[in-house]
């Protein structure tokens, strides 16, 4: 299997510090054929009907009970075979994120959010295609923003021909609030639903919108956000650098960190939760 993180990393890499304007813009399909193909499929196939179907399939959380640890270990079976010596496992990426948050002295719920933020990628182990699990997210059912990567690929989406979905607001009301908005289906929305009863609201926003770059990085889709969303997005933006910049560097030592995380997980979550 190809690197699951590649698509997210690609979007994320656009924002790394120290990039020249030219590098920042260098996300053409010629320069990144694999990524372009991923987004070609993602933008063509994430329709209103697809998102509705996946929400109905997964958000009732009927795939059984698992502890956070069981989910993390299950996710870890997603092996990136492109470079086993330097690439981090899924758990190691989660720990790098959460450890960077912890080092900066943030509250325990924030560290907890870092540790679970990508656990929704188990969708890809349930058999979902990568275009239906990872990558930057965007609202379906309204006009697409040019701030989404590869916006030209939206032309192939059947929704682009539905008049009702083509207006700025589409099926939504002005400043209706993001809770009423259906984003393209992926691991963010899934992990938000799995963990929402156990984490404080800023953490819920971090999990639910961490891949919604068009909004939290570019300020797009504000017409769908209410004042509460605007306030909560401060937290999403606070979380984002830990997801982006924590990769690389030292490999976290799970055996040493485990006691801290055992306590942390037990503080927020019951032994098992619904997935």
Q: Name the residues that contact Fe ion, by CB under 5 A.
A: 118
Q: Residues 6 or more apart from 153 whose CB is under 8 A from it?
A: 39, 40, 42, 43, 44
The secondary structure of residue 141, as a DSSP letter, is S
Token pair 């109905």: residue = 56
Nearer to Fe ion, 6 or 118 (CB): 118
Alpha-carbon distance of 237 to 201, in angstroms, equals 14
The secondary structure of residue 138, as a DSSP letter, is -
Nearer to Fe ion, 95 or 142 (CB): 95
Alpha-carbon distance of 247 to 96, in angstroms, equals 7
Closest separation between CB of residue 106 and Fe ion, Å?
18
Nearer to Fe ion, 139 or 170 (CB): 139
Closest separation between CB of residue 210 and Fe ion, Å?
5
Nearer to Fe ion, 165 or 192 (CB): 192
Q: Residues 6 or more apart from 35 whose CB is under 8 A from it?
A: 6, 7, 10, 27
In this chain, which residue has its C-beta nearest to Fe ion?
A: 118
Nearer to Fe ion, 25 or 218 (CB): 218
Q: Residues 6 or more apart from 48 whose CB is under 8 A from it?
A: 140, 141, 159, 162, 165, 171, 182
Closest separation between CB of residue 188 and Fe ion, Å?
6
Query: How many Å from the N-terminal Cα to the C-terminal Cα in the chain?
Result: 23
Closest separation between CB of residue 150 and Fe ion, Å?
18
Closest separation between CB of residue 187 and Fe ion, Å?
6
């Amino acid at each position: 299997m190809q690197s699951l993180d590649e698509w997210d990393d690609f979007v994320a890499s656009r924002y790394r510090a120290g990039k020249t304007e030219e590098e920042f813009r260098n996300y053409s399909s010629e320069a990144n054929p694999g990524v372009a193909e991923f987004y070609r499929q993602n933008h063509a196939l994430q329709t209103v009907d697809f998102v509705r179907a996946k929400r109905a399939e997964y958000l009732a959380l009927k795939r059984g009970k698992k502890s956070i640890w069981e989910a993390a270990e299950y996710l870890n079976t997603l092996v990136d075979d492109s470079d086993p010596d330097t690439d981090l496992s899924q758990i190691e990426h989660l720990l790098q994120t959460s450890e960077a948050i912890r080092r900066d002295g943030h509250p325990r719920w924030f560290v907890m959010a870092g540790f679970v933020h990508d656990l929704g990628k188990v969708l890809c182990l349930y058999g979902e295609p990568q275009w239906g699990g990872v990558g930057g997210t965007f609202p379906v059912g309204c006009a697409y923003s040019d701030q989404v990567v590869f916006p030209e690929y939206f032309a192939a989406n059947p929704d682009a021909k539905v008049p009702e979905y083509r207006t700025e607001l589409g099926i939504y009301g002005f400043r209706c609030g993001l809770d009423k908005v259906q984003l393209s289906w992926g691991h963010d929305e899934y992990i938000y639903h799995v963990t929402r009863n156990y984490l404080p609201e800023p953490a819920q926003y971090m999990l639910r919108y961490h891949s919604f770059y068009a909004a939290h990085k570019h300020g797009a889709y504000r017409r769908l956000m209410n004042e509460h969303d605007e306030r909560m997005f401060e937290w999403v933006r606070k979380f984002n650098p830990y997801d982006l910049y924590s990769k690389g560097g030292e490999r976290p030592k799970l055996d040493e960190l485990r006691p801290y995380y055992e306590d942390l997980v037990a503080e927020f979550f019951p032994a098992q939760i619904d997935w």
